[in-house]
């Protein structure tokens, strides 16, 4: 499995937060912070937009680091991704991602 596929199957390599971090792009950080703030109805500052990927060592956004229930579950179960979990097909946490992103499902089925 590609290292930059998140536990949930999303492609971290395509994530604008990761791109902003890797390229040290403050304009992109501001753009992502504004979009995510509006989408999530919570204040997200450009300083929070620092992440190198869900499953790799290094900086994470506050949400990805400690608030994402999918990441926390996968870490607790010590699985490489949710694709390695026998409960993937019925997981409510993962369901919202898979329902809205067919590529994530394909990434987990590998």
pLDDT tens digits along 88-110 = 999 999 998 999 999 999 999 97
The pLDDT value recorded for residue 110 is: 74
Q: Which residues, including other chains, have CB under 8 Å from residue 97's CB and lie 6 or more apart?
A: 8, 9, 10, 70, 104
Please report, in angstroms and rounded to a whole number, the separation of the first and last CA atoms in the chain.
7
pLDDT digits (tens, 9 = 90+) for 7-62: 999 999 999 999 999 999 999 999 999 999 999 999 999 999 999 999 999 999 99
The pLDDT value recorded for residue 26 is: 98
C-alpha dist (Å) from residue 4 to 45, 46, 90, 92? 24, 22, 24, 23
Q: Decide if pLDDT at 1 tops 90.
A: no
* Segment 76-88 mean pLDDT: 96
């Amino acid at each position: 499995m590609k290292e930059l596929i998140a536990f949930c199957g999303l492609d971290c390599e395509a994530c604008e937060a990761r791109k902003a971090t890797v390229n040290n792009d403050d304009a992109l950080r501001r753009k992502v912070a504004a979009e995510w703030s509006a989408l999530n109805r919570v204040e997200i500052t450009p300083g929070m937009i620092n992440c190198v990927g869900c499953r790799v060592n290094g900086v994470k956004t506050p949400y990805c680091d400690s608030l994402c229930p999918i990441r926390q579950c996968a870490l607790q179960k010590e699985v490489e991704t949710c694709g390695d979990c026998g409960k993937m097909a019925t997981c409510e946490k993962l369901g919202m991602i898979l329902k809205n992103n067919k590529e994530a499902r394909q990434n987990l089925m590998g």
